[in-house]
Structure 1
Amino acid sequence: MSPNEPGSAAWREAARTALLTFARRSRRDAGGFVWLDDAGEPDPDKALELWINARMTYVFSLAHLAGEPAALPYATHGVLALSTLFHDDVNRGWFDAVDFSGTPGDTTKGCYGHAFVLLAAATSAAAGVEGAGALLTEATLVHGQRFWDSSSGRCFEEISADWSRVDGYRGANSNMHTVEAYLVAADVTGNDLWRDRALSICERIIGIHARGHGWRIPEHYDHDWTPIPTYNREQPADPFRPYGATPGHAFEWSRLLIQLAASLESPPAWLADAAEALFAQAVADTVSDDTPGLSYTTDWHGETVVGELFHWVMAEAVLAATALHAWSGKDSYSTLAARWWSEIDEFFIDHRTGAWHHELSPSMSPSSRTWRGKPDAYHAFNALTFPDLPLTPSVALTLGAGP
């Protein structure tokens, strides 16, 4: 592979450096990371978001582990914000968003944001970031005691600020990112409990529900985990709870299943089989021979509902293809990965700034139907980093081990 070919190691290293240069602009002197607009300027209408701050902390911690210069102060800045600015000092846990004075808006505690706090805490602890050890101790305690529901083998979605009331909605997305966080937590802490719980989530959401729906993953459920296939039909482009199936999540789950299988001494055969089935169905629903990109959502028959194209879907698709190729050796996966890297280079990377366009219209022009600005470096950074590394242990532990 030519050094300049999209997806090559040299190309990805250059793209990662440019991405981090842009991401550094999100640092806020008074604490935390702000939401960046398309030009890389703070969006004044956006509060400080927990998930963005946790993801940025994770990214800069990984960047430090990967030897990127001057990443450590940004990781330290993120750990401090998570430990203070977003932290609920009365009830423990973290607020989903705070204004620029540090006042929380909605005080409901969310599994999605807490999963990213755990991911950031485990990764920053592996990177030796100041304060990360204490953050990891609390993050494992809170997620393990508050969000884990042993009766269902999955996680609650939302809980009141004082932990007294559990919302009736259950979601696959937050549980997916919990699997991701649990796998890293298992490696960093050495506690297999987290890996066991990750397997439990996968057994139920993928092994039961996705399998039962033709490998299109039900995203939304009621309190007893009965799928709600019509959820948000009137708001199909919701950024976190869209109607229908989300092929990008199928790619993401596919990668996580392979990483989980690789981490187990005797992985159940169904993990890899399910990973390939999810991938194949997502490809069938989104890939066209003559049209670039991958659509956001489909209905339950595979017909496109929201045709906008998101950078995170491309990032997860190429990562899933890379992981499946590493696991199976099948050339079909590397062929698709090469195609998607080319499309990422041509359409999704903003070569003026180094950031990736978060959303494109079906005609491949910038769009803001669902997302505005460029606040998130997490998916792109993963895509630019993971292909150089083994499937297990987690990237934080692999990079932390050094050459």
Structure 2
Amino acid sequence: MTTPATRQIFDAQVWSLLAFAKKSYTEHGFGWLDDVGNIDAERGVQLWITGSMTHAFALGHLLGDPDCAALAEHGIRSLLDGPLRDAATGGWFSVVDVDGAARPGPLAAHDHSFVMLAAASAHLAGIPRAQELLDAALGTFEELWWDEEAGMVVDSRDRESLAVAPYRGARANMCTVEALLAAYSATDNVLHLQRASRITDRIAYEFADHDFRLPEHFDASWKADLEYNQDHPTDVTRPYGSVIGHWLQWSRLMVQVRIACTEADIAHASLLRTFPQYIYRQALRDGWEVDGQAGFVYTVDFDGRPVIHQRMYWALCEGITAAETLLQMTGDRSYEHDIDAYTAWAQRFLIESPGQWREELDIHNRPSSELWSGKPDIHHALQAMLTGRLPITPSFAEGILALRD
């Protein structure tokens, strides 16, 4: 549990985050919100945002927000029947214009993972047609994304030919683990947990093989490419180096996977018992206040030197979520100090007003939009605010349900 003062802040933020997110409603899903909460039409309607907002509204419904059931249902309908759905492949486009026209670009595993997450959370929340969407998302996952031989997901496919791109990425696999855990919660099908475990085990060994600084980029044979995008380090989705926020998210996911596998008597790497704590501490050593300013730097190289000094809101949220999870797992009260420190930093620099978390800060903790702009999602913050209230379960929706029982 967080300290009482911090818990009070978190509880208030839950409702404020949901209230702000309601502004994202569009005809074809949920849109990208700008700094003041207006729809940024130039960004179109993006699949990952529509999925993550539907997930958030499903959690909001489980928490008792009276508006969230209708919003989650809108998200489910949009993903099933709207222009984001690609009739030719059975998958989903990554982005459509506000008028529904699909924009060019490949099909992306990362973006599809949010469809699975949304459907699973909505199913547990009792949202109509969520099961239909979950069945469709799982079918597409099987056909387009899962590589049984590697025990990982491929990253993207050409929209027309469905040819698999040679690039492989840890980011898509991380979000897929979260989605598979949610699917396991929703279905009790151990196949989803087994696959989440296979991905997580492989990532754990990648941490171990690279001095606990995770490679983000790989070739088609899953050989790490440590120089990928070295000449373009600020690429938004594939930055050079290693992403501190991903270390924090993996540390939390490893705990969830290990506990779920232990309860289900499913094989998993024994190192998942100790690695989460070590990866979390490595993130603090390499990422927190390392350039003389408070906050997590975005990326570091493989000697631990900062590359991108921007502070991303979601990384701070994953720090809170990881610390809350490790506090509950270990009983080590030192994590409370970390949570309080993160919360104080967020209040001072990130949270402009209730429910409105600035996406990016520069090295001096001033508002920045070099990599991201606006306030496009709430799910990282929402989950961070909830974690200390919930038992450790495969998914947040299951955790809320367990708390209600």
Q: What interval of TM-score do these two structures reach, taking the shorter chain for normalisation? A: over 0.9
Q: Does 1:60 align with 2:57?
A: yes
- In the alignment of these two chains, the number of paired residues is 397
Q: Which runs of 5+ in 2 are unaligned?
A: none
2:130 aligned with 1:132, yes or no?
A: yes
The range that moved more, 50-59 or 234-243, is: 234-243
Q: How many Å separate the matches in 2 of 1:163 and 1:191? A: 31
Q: What value does the CA root-mean-square deviation take over the aligned residues? A: 1.6
Matches within 5 A, 1:328-347: 328-347=330-349
- CA offsets 1:71-107 (integer angstroms, 9 cap, x no match): 1111111111111221112220111011122121125
Change beyond 3 A, Cα 1:390–1:2: closer
| Partner AA of 1:331 in structure 2 | R
Deviation at 1:234, TM superposition (A): 2.1
- Determine helix, strand or coil for the equivalent of 2:242: coil
Aligned to 1:279: 280
Alpha-carbon distance between aligned partners in 2 of 1:2 and 1:161, rounded to the nearest angstrom: 49
Pairing of 1:11-26 with structure 2 (within 5 A) = 11-26=9-24
Q: Name which of 303, 306, 317 aligns with 1:304.
A: 306
Q: Deviations over 1:327-376 (max 9, x none)?
A: 1112222221121111112211111x521000011111110010000111
Matched, 1:363 2:364: yes
Equivalent position of 1:102 in the other structure: 100
Match of 1:33 among 30, 34, 37: 30
1:1-20 equivalence runs, <5 A: 5=5, 7-8=6-7, 10-20=8-18
Q: Is the 8 A contact 1:218 1:245 kept in 2?
A: yes
Which residue identity does 1:273 align to in structure 2?
A: T
* Counterpart Cα distance in 2 of 1:240 and 1:387: 29
In structure 1, what is the equivalent of residue 41 of structure 2? Answer: 44
Structure 1 letter corresponding to 2:306? T
**Does the CA contact (< 8 Å) of 1:61 and 1:71 recur in 2?**
yes
1:2-401 counterparts in 2 under 5 A?
A: 5=5, 7-8=6-7, 10-28=8-26, 30-85=27-82, 86-162=84-160, 164-207=162-205, 209-265=206-262, 268-288=269-289, 291-351=293-353, 354-401=355-402
Q: Deviations over 1:221-279 (max 9, x none)?
A: 01100111111112212221110011110000000001111112256431021212211
Work out the CA distance in 2 between the residues paired with 1:313 and 1:399: 23
8 Å CA contact 2:184–2:394 kept in 1: the answer is no
For the residues of structure 2 that align with 1:36 and 1:398, how far apart are their CA atoms? 28
CA distance in structure 2 between the partners assigned to 1:59 and 1:91 by the alignment: 27
Note the C-alpha offset of 1:131.
1.4
Aligned equivalents of 1:17, 1:395: Cα separation in 2 = 16
SS at match of 1:264: helix
Contact 2:201 2:269 in 1 (8 A): no
- Give the Cα separation in 2 of the matches to 1:366 and 1:105: 30
Q: Are the counterparts in 1 of residues 28 and 45 from structure 2 also a CA contact under 8 Å?
A: no
Residue 269 to residue 334, structure 1, CA distance change in 2 (3 Å)? farther
**Structure 1 unpaired stretches of 5+:** none
What is the Cα deviation at residue 54 of structure 1? 0.5
Query: Judging changes above 3 Å, is the alpha-carbon distance between structure 1 residues 246 and 33 closer, same or farther for their aligned structure 2 residues?
Result: same
- Closer, same or farther in 2 for the Cα pair 1:174/1:274, shift >3 Å? same
TM-superposed CA distance for 1:145, in Å, is 2.8
SS of 2:231's partner is coil
- 1:92 partner amino acid: G
Preserved contact between residue 293 and residue 363 of structure 2 (Cα < 8 Å): no
3-state SS, counterpart of residue 388 of structure 1:
coil
- State the TM-score, normalized to the length of structure 2: 0.94
| Closer/same/farther in 2, CA of residues 395 and 49 from structure 1, 3 Å limit | same
CA contact 1:146–1:163 (8 Å) conserved in 2? no
Instruction: Label 1:172 to 1:82 Cα distance change in 2 as closer, same or farther (>3 A).
Output: same
Q: Secondary structure at the match of 1:350?
A: strand
8 Å Cα contact 2:311-2:362 kept in structure 1: yes
Of stretches 183-192 and 41-50 in structure 1, the one that deviates more from structure 2 is 41-50
In the alignment, the residues of structure 2 paired with residue 174 and residue 393 of structure 1 have an alpha-carbon distance, to the nearest angstrom, of: 18
Displacement after TM superposition at 1:203 (Å): 1.4
State the AA in 2 paired with 1:61.
A
